[in-house]
Every structure is written in structure tokens, then in C-alpha cells.
Amino acid sequence: MRVFDMNQRVVKISIVKIGCIGCSPLLEYLLDERADRKDIDVRVFGSGSKLDEERAVDIAKRALEFEPDLVIISTPNAALPGPTKARELIASKGIPTIVIADAPTKKVADKLKEEGFGYIIVEADSMLGARREFLDPVEMAVYNSDLIKVLAVTGAFNIIYEAVDKAIEAIKKGEKPELPTIIVNRKAAAKAAKFNNPYAKAKAMAAFEMSKRVADLTTKACFVLKDWEEYTTLCAAAHELMRHAARLADEAREIEKYGDYLIRRPHYKDGTIMIKSKLIEKPVKMEEVKSEHESK
């Protein structure tokens, strides 16, 4: 294992959280899960649950004050005025910016790309059932717990941190990072999760699909239906759907444990990603695994 270079450049990252999607709450921790990474310095700036223009711009400004090398914006529906203004402000400073967002963002994906933004749009990251008759803080937390389980197990989080790490790596080398433009769908996610058992993969894909379909229900419940009894029931149905998506994701993960081939890909302290499969084995750097394969 090569010696860790203490003099390597530290990449400064501002994470801007506008409102909340399932990818937001743990975003900064995905990059440095054990707080031992030496190559990045992270600051988070959030507007709470609101995503109006004023607040979005305000935290974008604060994020810029950190003089970041890279900005990550996580937001629902990046086409809304708040997120749009925020990222335009950051773009005006020429800082590489990756937008992490949910499915409604797909309609501006091409525009984002044209404007030089990276994006990771996660189809399964559905909005919750935001009706006062249904959603209280505890229900919100329960929902996010389930959604996080789905996103983690089905591979969405793998795509996020690997894409961000790639950009970080480029910046560390002094290069201009090639930013990701990824739609995280069922297939992409499952591939990234690297399941060994094909039924685990199929279950994870089903869980992803379920999670994605939650938005069909919540969108209707929040924006279409007027009858409060009807939308309350539909909100409840949506959250039950997410609860079972989480269960199915859990089932997929258990299969991998049962066969003792659950892939783990921790960060090394220099930021490179390692990999291991059996629980009782040491991780090795992924690049070494690859070069080993290539040399065969």
C-alpha cells in the first residue's frame, strides 16, 4: 500500500442543502463515513425545510464564503426558482457544481448539462406525503428512515459518493473535473450496488421501483386531491409503500450477508475507495483490484 502523502492538496467542498430530499440528510457523511479522510474539508449550509429564492440564495452566498473547490447542491426539483438562483450564483464564480436532485429535475437535465453543471438525479428519491392531517415530525422522520434505507441499499448512494469522489480526485490532481450527468434509475443503481446474488439484485430493483412510485401517490395527494379524507389516506398508502420498499431493500441486503459476499467500499484516509467482500477480510484499494484484473 503506497505511503499516504500528507502534503497532498485538501479539496474544499461546500454542500448546499435547499429543502430536503432523501439524498440530503446524510450527504456529507457519505463522503467521509469515519471522519478520517485527510484530503477534503467539508462545510454544510442548509436552509431548513424551505426552498424559496431568498433562503436559497442566502445559503449559496454563505457557501461561497468558504471559497470551495467544489459545490454540491442537494434539492428537490432543481427547476424551481430557489435552487435555480442558488446555482446560478455559484456558477457565476466558476466553481464546479454538482446538483443532486429528485425526478422532477429531469425536465431541466439537459439545460443543467449545457450550463456546465453536473447532476445526479435519483428517480427513487420520492417526496413524502406533506399534508398536515398526516405528516408530523415523527412521520417525516420515519419516512426518511425508510427512504434512506432504500437509497443506501439499492445503490443510489454508491453512485453519489463515487461520482463526487471522482470530481475530488480530479481537483486534487489540479485538473478540471468532468462532472457527472447521471440519471439514477433502477438499472444504474443496481449496477452500482454490485450485488453478488441475482435475486438480491432483483429485489433491490423492485424496492427501487416501489420507492420511485411513491411519488405518483404523494404528488397526487399533495397537489391534486382536494378531499382531505382522500388525500390523507393516499399519503398513508404512499408511506406504507415506502415502508415496504425499505423492507424489500433490507431483504436484498440480508441475502448478501447470508452468502457472506456483501460488498463494502470504505474510504481510505487519502480518499481512495477500498473494497472487500467477506466480512472477515481486509479491504484493498479498488484501483489495485482493477490493475490486478488487467494484468491477468
| Touching a copy of itself, residues 185-224 (CB under 8 A) | 186-187, 190, 197-199, 201-203, 205-206, 209-210, 213, 216-217
Positions in 148-167 near a copy of itself (CB under 8 A): 148-149, 151-153, 157-158, 161
CA distance 126 to 211: 7
Measured from the CB atom, is 82 or 118 closer to a copy of itself? 82
The DSSP output letter for 3 is: P
Positions in 233-252 near a copy of itself (CB under 8 A): 233-234, 236-241, 243-244, 246-248, 250
**DSSP-derived 3-state class of residue 274:** strand
**Which run of H or E residues covers position 34?**
none
Contact at 8 Å (CB) between 150 and 125? no
Measured from the CB atom, is 104 or 283 closer to a copy of itself? 283
**DSSP-derived 3-state class of residue 261:** coil
Beta bridge partners of 118: 98
Measured from the CB atom, is 61 or 111 closer to a copy of itself? 61
The owner of cell 429531469 is: 106
Measured from the CB atom, is 33 or 110 closer to a copy of itself? 33
Rounded to the nearest whole angstrom, what is the least distance from the CB of residue 230 to a copy of itself in the complex?
Answer: 8
Measured from the CB atom, is 99 or 252 closer to a copy of itself? 252
Rounded to the nearest whole angstrom, what is the least distance from the CB of residue 113 to a copy of itself in the complex?
Answer: 26
The residue type of 267 is H
Positions in 19-48 near a copy of itself (CB under 8 A): 19-20, 25-26, 28-36, 40-48
Positions in 92-121 near a copy of itself (CB under 8 A): none
3-state DSSP of 119-186: EEEECCCCCCCCCCCCCCHHHHHHHHHHHHHHHHHHCHHHHHHHHHHHHHHHHHCCCCCCCCEEEECH
- Over the window 127 to 146, marking each residue x when it contacts a copy of itself by CB under 8 A and - when it does not, the resulting string is ---xxxxxxxxxxxxx-xxx
CB atoms within 10 A of CB 48: 11
Positions in 1-20 near a copy of itself (CB under 8 A): 15, 17, 19-20
Rounded to the nearest whole angstrom, what is the least distance from the CB of residue 98 to a copy of itself in the complex?
Answer: 16
Sign of the dihedral defined by the CA atoms of residues 180, 186, 191, 193, in that order:
positive
Measured from the CB atom, is 112 or 271 closer to a copy of itself? 271
Rounded to the nearest whole angstrom, what is the least distance from the CB of residue 295 to a copy of itself in the complex?
Answer: 26
Q: At what angle do helices 186-193 and 156-172 cross, to 10 degrees?
A: 70
Among 259, 287, 291, 292, binds a copy of itself (CB under 8 A): 259
